[in-house]
Amino acid sequence: MKTLNIKNTILGTVLFFLTSFAFAHPTGNMITIGENVLWSYINPINDLNHYACVMIWTKGSQPKVFIQSEYAASDFMLYNNQNEIYIIERRFLQASDEFHIRVLKSTIGSQPKVIWDWFKDDYRIGEGGFFMLSDNQMVFGKYPEIYSSKKGEQPTKYFEFDLPIKRIRAVEDSQILLLDDEGCYLVQQNGSILEQWNELTDPSVQNSPLNRNQLFDADYSNGELLLSYWGRRSFDLIDAKGNRQIILQQTEPLTPHWVAFWNKEKLLFSSQLIFDGSTPKPHLTLLNEQNDQRVIWSIQ
């Protein structure tokens, strides 16, 4: 497979991302597998052509590239089922103004293999979260619905839900965490609500990044809800009793993106966002049980 010619694509790629909210942050997410953490980003960091990568970090080592896309204007989205890693790779084709995706499968230490080859993507699959029911069927979020798609077939609604959903996440016990701009819902596979958290944004917040006072990401484990609150530039934790606290408050230009529980620790990913056309700069923090902070990856 050949890399897209930079001379032919750089102008269109830059214009596409500069006029898109997606350019304000790398599309993707963060997952944990045993002693490993993986997340989506771009590599090289300062390249406006936006070559996607998946980074990996293990305690005692430095973050490194796990997989690198050959394509400009690309993204990776991640899901893991125990030790199996599923990766959606997306690329933007300027000539046809289309997104195409494929699905890869891997484990730590092995080369990813293609299980769904490239196809046209009209739903921006994976951008709102996804998980695999099998190698031949996935579930994904696409505002305002939740869809299921079998390999080679068109998506259909997975279940009906009364509220518009912008992001989904597979969590413990085969449950699904649904996220909208202001709330979260823990549901079963049929969409029935087990627990919900409403009115999670503060309407008095001012000067939100891009004027979006919204939640960006969430994770759930053992009754606790971990939030990335884009609008307040904070990471919040709601315990099993419903008590909420800010566990990390950030200031401009740091803007919260992704969160993940990692055993009894918490991973908090943000980026420096300047909104001047420059690429985001990553800032990944590990918070231990004593709420001690350790910066894992930060590039100025």
* Domain final residue, candidates 199, 227, 248: 199
Predicted confidence band of residue 276 (pLDDT cuts 50, 70, 90)? confident
Task: Tell me, yes or no, whether 129 lies in a domain.
Answer: no
Element (H, E) at 17: helix 6-18
Q: What total of structural domains would you count in the chain?
A: 3
Residue 126 has pLDDT above 50, yes or no: yes
In degrees, rounded to 5, the angle at the alpha carbon of residue 25 between the alpha carbons of residues 22 and 31 is: 110
* Domain membership flag for residue 130: no
Answer with the residue of higher pLDDT: 22 or 243: 243
pTM for the predicted model, two decimal places: 0.91
Q: Within this chain, do residues 33 and 99 fall inside the same structural domain, yes or no?
A: yes
Q: Is the bond preceding 203 in cis, omega lying within 30 degrees of 0?
A: no
- Residue 22 and residue 281: Cα distance in Å, rounded? 15
Range of the domain at 144: 135-199
Residues 34 and 72 reside in one and the same domain: yes
The answer to whether position 48 is within a domain reads yes
User: Does residue 52 surpass a pLDDT of 50?
Assistant: yes
Tell me, yes or no, whether 81 and 191 share the same domain. Answer: no
Asked whether residue 20 falls in the same domain as residue 44, the answer is yes
In a domain, 126, yes or no: no
CATH code assigned at 252: 2.120.10.30
Under a CB-based contact definition with an 8 Å cutoff, are residues 28 and 37 in contact? no
Residue 68 lies inside a defined structural domain of this protein: yes
